[in-house]
Amino acid sequence: MGINGILSDVKNISLMWKTDGIPVFKSSKFVLWPLYLVINELPYKERISKDNMIFAGLWFGSSKPVMLTFLQPFHSALSNLENEGLLVETFDDHHFATHAILLASTCDLPEKCLVCNSVQYNGFYGCSKCKQPGQTVKTGKKGRHTHAFAFDFANPKGPKRTKKETLEESRQAASQRKPVNGIKGPSWFSGLKHHNIIDGMHCLLLGICKRLLGLWFDAGENADYKINSSISTVDARLTTIKPPNNISRVPRSIENHLTGSTLKPLNYVLFCYFMVLLFFMTFYPSHTTNISFF
């Protein structure tokens, strides 16, 4: 935010929000979509306690929320808190003004597409960071297919999306009534200065980590990037890692993680995965060409 940013004033706060669908009945399609806010400046245990979480909205219906309807009052309130602020009265009858900004939300990928009003992550122009269209590729003999974003050696991170272009594309999409470079129309959060959407489960725990480990180590078709013949070498390297005592699970065999549905816990992934990746980049540079860290 910078030394003179809005959070440099201790009276101001930042928020993070979360919403997701909860089935109400087993025999019907009706779902609840509660919307909660947490205050980032609180210590973690207090931040996630029921007493301190802010219940900010609720959608009930037989389908997913229409985000342009559901989030409109939410956006109006947040915009007012960011720009106008709120007058707070203390227990000793003092008054002060506070401002609040929305920093981030935690969404899974399908929900992120709804909130951002963009095409699905597995569709053409489905990447939220660049404008690469991707391509549909066959994955099996029975007509199965998936949408893939092949690595572009000439321009691996581009062409990048910019806020200005995305706003213009949202206006064009609304006017033409069809997606423009993956943007389906306006999003309420595009007007907030500090907001970002993250998805740790799909991008890290169920995404990048497991996908790369599978590509490198799964037995199957031969490929230049395969190093499944070196699992024992990598496992020996893993078992030499001695994590600090606040990490509850010690490194285990790569094979154990290829058979699970998720890589967990998170601290294990963050600590060990990147250690092994650095090992690959040192001893197998041809298998990790053009890997970048954000």
Q: Would you give the DSSP letter of residue 161?
A: P
CA 55 – CA 196 distance, rounded (Å): 20
Listed residue (42, 49, 58, 48) closest to 100, CA to CA:
42
Overall number of domains in the chain: 3
Q: What is the pLDDT along the chain (294 residues), one digit of tens a residue?
A: 544 688 888 899 999 988 888 888 888 888 999 999 999 999 988 998 999 999 999 999 888 888 888 988 988 898 899 889 999 888 888 889 999 998 888 877 788 888 889 998 888 998 888 888 888 887 766 777 788 887 778 887 778 888 888 889 999 999 999 999 999 998 888 777 777 655 455 555 555 666 677 777 776 667 777 777 777 777 777 777 776 776 666 666 776 655 554 444 444 555 455 555 555 655 555 555 444 433
For tokens 């227990």, name the residue: 91
Judge if 188 and 228 occupy the same domain.
Answer: no
pTM to 2 decimal places: 0.62
Q: Which of 198, 222, 255 is the last residue of a domain?
A: 198
**Distance between CA atoms of 196 and 144, rounded to whole angstroms?**
34
Are 90 and 45 members of one domain?
Answer: yes
Q: How many helices (H) and strands (E) does the chain have?
A: 11, 10
Amino acid at 26: K
Domain membership of residue 243 (yes or no) is yes
Quick check: 53 and 37 in contact, CB under 8 A?
yes
Instruction: Clarify whether residues 192 and 178 are in a common domain.
Output: no
Distance in angstroms between the alpha carbons of the first and the last residue of the chain: 19
Three-class SS state of 190: helix
CA distances to 161, 198, 275, 277, 285 from 282, in Å: 32, 30, 11, 9, 6
Please check whether residue 133 lies inside any domain of the structure.
yes
In a domain, 69, yes or no: yes
Contact criterion met (CB below 8 Å) for 105 and 158: no
- Supply the range of the domain harboring residue 261: 203-287
